[in-house]
Amino acid sequence: SNEDVEKGVIVYISGKDSTLFYSKKILTIPAKKTKEIYLKKVIPNIKSWSAETPNLYTLSMSLDNNQFISKNIGFKRVEIKNSQVLINGKAIYFKGVDRHETDPFTGHVVSKESMEKDIQLMKQNNINAVRSAHYPNDPYWLDLCDQYGLYVIDEANIESHPLAIDEKTQLGNEMSWLPAHIMRLSRMYYRDRNHASIYSWSLGNEAGDGNLFKALYSWLKEQENNRIIQYEPAGKQDYTDVYCPMYPKPEYLINHGESDSDKPSIMIEYCHAMGNSVGNLQDYWDIIEKYPNLQGGYIWDWVDQSLEYKDENGNPFLAYGHDYHPDLPTDGNFLNNGLVDPYRNPHPHLSEVKKVYEPVQFNYLGNGTIEITNKKFFSDLSNQLINWRVLQDGKVVFKHENIGVNVQPQEKQNFRFEKFPNVLSEKSEYILEVQLIQKNETELIPKGYEIAWDQFVIQKGAYIKHSSNKGSELSIISSETIHTIKNDSVELSIDVKTGEITSWTFEGNVITNQPIRPNLWRPPTDNDLGNGMDKWAKVWQNSTYEMKSELISKPIEEKGHVSFEIKYTTPKNEATITIVYHLKNNGNLEVDYSFQPNQEGLPNIPRVGMFLTVPNTFNEVSWYGKGPEESYWDRKTGQKTGIYSGLIEDQFHRYSRPQETGNKADVRWMEIVSEKIKLRVSSKQLLNSSTWPFSMKEIDFNSNDAGESASGLVPVTKKHGADINIGEMIQWNIDYNQMGLGGDTSWGRMVHKEYTLPSKDYRYSFVIQPLKK
């Protein structure tokens, strides 16, 4: 205006039940000028904001009662003391994920409904923090984080990754670029500064080092000093408040934990969740919780970024790589690193994250007594209940539900379960299972929802259940090509030269017409391809498909069974596998497996096991082991031991690129079922087992069909999870073990040593029991 004006300004802060602050002022504003006002008041008994207790207030402002604005605000204190980030005085843990804005239909345009689904899934899976990678997210997302409680790293839209790789091309010391960087940083800051959920500003992602970023840090500190500032490329320099490394090895975390650095460490990216991944997450958190200056990290990342395409028949699939640009360089499926798929369906490894990120810890003290530790920092357990049950050989025999609990933050409490069984059957396995469930529903957590759980083996049992059926005596009938072993219920034929099974029937029903063969290979996961397993372990892939066998001990009748022995030799005599079969009168087939390397310096073995091929009339599976989802040596914390069942065609996961899938760890027994009979596998030791409704070749990696990626990080393939065809046969993998999945990175890092299978002698045995249904 060309004249001075008077304006009435009203500012007030209100809570649910009262007004905490009210101010009314009449301002005289000189012509063509602006005027700033500052209001200050101490408000007693404020309810602070945290991700556990997201208390919000409404700030409202009006101008002459005809212009209004309101905003949800919260009160929290963020500081660094004693090498720890403190929220409201507490050194919390950041159990986080990195989140891109992506939708399978609209790309980077994300609906409110999609954002609401994201925050619901995060809260239900014990995630308490999120990083806006690599740009400020939609303000509605920040509103949700304010409302429901997530700690947010707000990251500036600054990245110059290709230039940042080489110090000579980094922009960090090109001060002519400072205005462009300040512009992006300031836009983020001024837009988002009133969001309670933001505890840290990030100066950008993978944009190099240098004085330019020191200037950004200084500019932001001048604006405010009540949040921390971080920047990963700065390392431990003075223009980042925290040390926020990407993908550190566990030993690097330990080194920082034992150092005298004044900087807390919060991993900005870790546990690369590409494909079948997220191995050894529990190991990372065992280290984090050991050292006070380690405070968690952000898993890369939340959601796969494929778009939905349709094939020539109109069938949907999740596109990647050359699907978008057939003739341009690509990094293939490297855009799919999520804990959920683009439709927000959880991948199996999200269960592992939920378990490791749990807000409570259970310890069994014996005699039916549990110690519960509330790992939260601001909220008690008054809105949770405890359920407990005892499983005998996987079946519930005792239970007690809906026990009230109220453990205060960071405190422990012992609970003695009433009517706890003290008389146990001698040969049975007993497991105590404890659950923490939601008492009353909230907007995001339904009543009865399982928040945390644990299991404790009270007594180990015998896993092999012997059949009471003795069966009639077996006879051996030999010809020039076949040895046949049979009685009135079972018939098994083997090749005279190779010793391999050519047919096997029980009660007139076909079990298989194919050999039970050794398996030293697994279809490479994305992590496997990233570390070159398709090259360094090629010998075991070739061996699995090309090994030859010979019958070295023909069938011999002994008391109650017939035995024969086969020797497998790999193509270049790298190793020998000896299999001794014992066919019992009752139809049981006992298998003794022995692996022996014949050369020094052989690589680690992806899998040590065998597989049986059966008709797809065996269409159901049940097992007593880890479940209900897939589990692996280094990723089984999030799966419970119990009895599970389902269709075989549902026992694998369609990752965006076909790869190893469907394993069940710690298997006591597994059964597959047809209309008339079932087959049970059991062992004196815990097995790994999976049932695929296709052969291994269907999901295996073929280097002839792959090309180099634009970055050189991983090979590029063209096959999609949607391309996996259900076959007419079932491949049943019965394994001693397979190596872990890894997950430190997907571009070179090997599986941790403790989860590998070195080339050495291995022995195991199992029993296949045909049974009438």
Per-residue 3-state assignment (H helix, E strand, C coil) for 482-494: EEEEECCCEEEEE
Structure tokens belonging to residue 332:
């293939």
Instruction: Output the pLDDT for position 161.
Output: 84
> Do residue 257 and residue 379 come from a single domain?
no
Q: How far apart are CA 261 and CA 264, in angstroms?
A: 8
Point out the catalytic residue in the list 79, 159, 206, 289.
206
Tokens matching residue 239: 């223009």
The C-alpha R_g of the chain, in whole angstroms, comes to 31
Is 269 catalytic? The answer is yes
DSSP assignment of 418-465: TT------TT--EEEEEEEEESS--SSS-TT-EEEEEEEEEE------
Residues 110 and 205 in one domain: yes
Tell me the pairing of strands 548-558 and 475-478. Answer: unpaired
The CA distance from 592 to 766, in Å, is 7
Residue 252 lies in a domain: yes
Structure tokens at 86: 């403190």
CATH number assigned to the domain comprising residue 501 = 2.70.98.10
Same domain, 414 and 453: yes
Q: According to the model, what pLDDT value does residue 463 have?
A: 76
Pair 610, 517: CB distance under 8 Å: yes
**In the chain, which stretches have pLDDT less than 70?**
465-469
Nearest to 591 by CA among 487, 478, 683, 512: 683
* Closest to 267 measured CA to CA, from 149, 135, 131, 361: 131
Q: What is the pLDDT of residue 355?
A: 99
Helix (H, G, I), strand (E, B) or coil at 139: helix
Element at 641 (helix H, strand E): strand 640-647
User: Is residue 351 a part of any domain in this protein?
Assistant: yes
Domain of 436? Answer: 359-459
Q: Which residues pair with 647 in a beta bridge?
A: 620
The answer to whether 442 and 407 have CB atoms below 8 angstroms apart is no
Q: HSE, CB side, 13 Å, CA atoms: give it for residue 173.
A: 7
Q: What is the DSSP letter of 56?
A: -
How much is the pLDDT for 2?
83
From the candidates 101, 155, 232, 269, give the one annotated as an active-site residue.
269
100 in the same domain as 35: no
In contact, 473 and 487? CB cutoff 8 Å? yes
Q: What is the DSSP letter of 571?
A: T
Domain harbouring 419, CATH code: 2.60.40.10
Return d(Cα 51, Cα 2) in angstroms, integer: 48
Pairing of strands 129-132, 94-99: parallel
| Residue-level length of the chain | 773
Would you tell me how many other CB atoms lie within 10 Å of the CB of residue 272? 24
For the stretch 184-193, pLDDT in tens is 999 999 999 9
Query: What is the distance, to the nearest Å, from the Cα of residue 522 to the centroid of all Cα atoms in its chain?
Result: 19
Report which DSSP code applies to 340.
B
Give the separation between CA 716 and CA 320, rounded to whole angstroms.
10
CB 157 within 8 A of CB 207: no
- Mapped onto helix, strand or coil, the DSSP state of residue 535 is helix
Same domain, 680 and 759: yes
Closest C-alpha to 506, from 394, 586, 421, 613: 586
Residue 318 placed within a domain: no
Beta partners for 579?
566, 593
CA proximity to 152, closest of 186, 119, 180: 119
Could you give the C-alpha distances from 497 to 479, 483, 547, 554, 611, in angstroms and in order?
11, 10, 14, 9, 21
Same domain? 448 vs 488: no
- For residues 350 and 366, membership in a common domain is answered with no
CA–CA distance, 482 with 689 (Å, rounded to integer): 30
What is the side-by-side strand order in the sheet with 5-14?
19-29, 5-14, 57-63, 67-73
For 553, list phi and psi in degrees, rounded to 5: -145, 105
Collapsing DSSP states into helix, strand and coil, what is residue 455?
strand
pTM to 2 decimal places: 0.96
HEC profile of 222-289 = HHCCCCEEECHHHCCCCCCCCECCECCCHHHHHHHHCCCCCCCEEEEEECCCCCCCCCCHHHHHHHHC
Looking at residue 93, what DSSP letter applies?
A: -
CA 60 to chain centre: 43
Residue 642 contacts residue 627 (beta carbons within 8 Å): yes
Give the residue from 73, 103, 119 where a domain finishes.
Answer: 73
Same domain, 400 and 493: no
Q: How far is CA 243 from the centre of its chain?
A: 24
* pLDDT number for residue 693: 98
Q: Does 139 lie in the same domain as 152? A: yes
Q: How far apart are CA 83 and CA 294, in angstroms?
A: 9
53/63 Cα distance (integer angstroms)? 33
Beta bridge partners of 770: 679
Question: How far, in Å, CA of 252 to CA of 245, rounded?
Answer: 10
Q: How far is CA 618 from CA 318, 490, 652, in A?
A: 30, 18, 16
CATH code of the domain covering residue 134? 3.20.20.80
User: Residue 544 is encoded by which pair of tokens?
Assistant: 């699995």
What integer pLDDT is reported at residue 106 of this predicted model?
A: 97
With respect to residue 469, please indicate whether it lies within any of the assigned structural domains: no
Distance CA 740, CA 733 (A): 16
Q: Looking at the structure, tell me whether residues 346 and 374 fall in a common domain.
A: no
Claim to verify: residue 398 and residue 342 sit in the same structural domain: no
* DSSP assignment string, 477-527: EE-SSEEEEE-SSEEEEEETTT--EEEEEETTEEEESS--EEE---PPPHH
Structure tokens, 697? 């070749």
- 310 in a structural domain: no
Contact 11, 71 (CB under 8 A): no
Residue 749 forms part of a structural domain: yes
Task: Look at residues 459, 491, 526 and tell me which one is the last residue of a structural domain.
Answer: 459
Which of helix, strand or coil describes residue 462?
Answer: coil
Is 258 part of a structural domain of the chain?
yes
What is the rounded (10 degree) CA torsion for 27, 28, 33, 35? -20
In a domain, 221, yes or no: yes
Q: Cβ atoms within 10 A of the Cβ of 220, count?
A: 21
Instruction: Give Cα separations from 83 to 244, 247, 262, 679 (angstroms).
Output: 13, 21, 5, 58
Burial class (CB in 10 A: 0-12, 13-18, 19+), 193: middle
**In this structure, are 669 and 639 located in the same domain?**
yes
Measured between alpha carbons, how far apart are the two ends of the chain, in Å?
90
- Domain count for the chain, please give it: 4
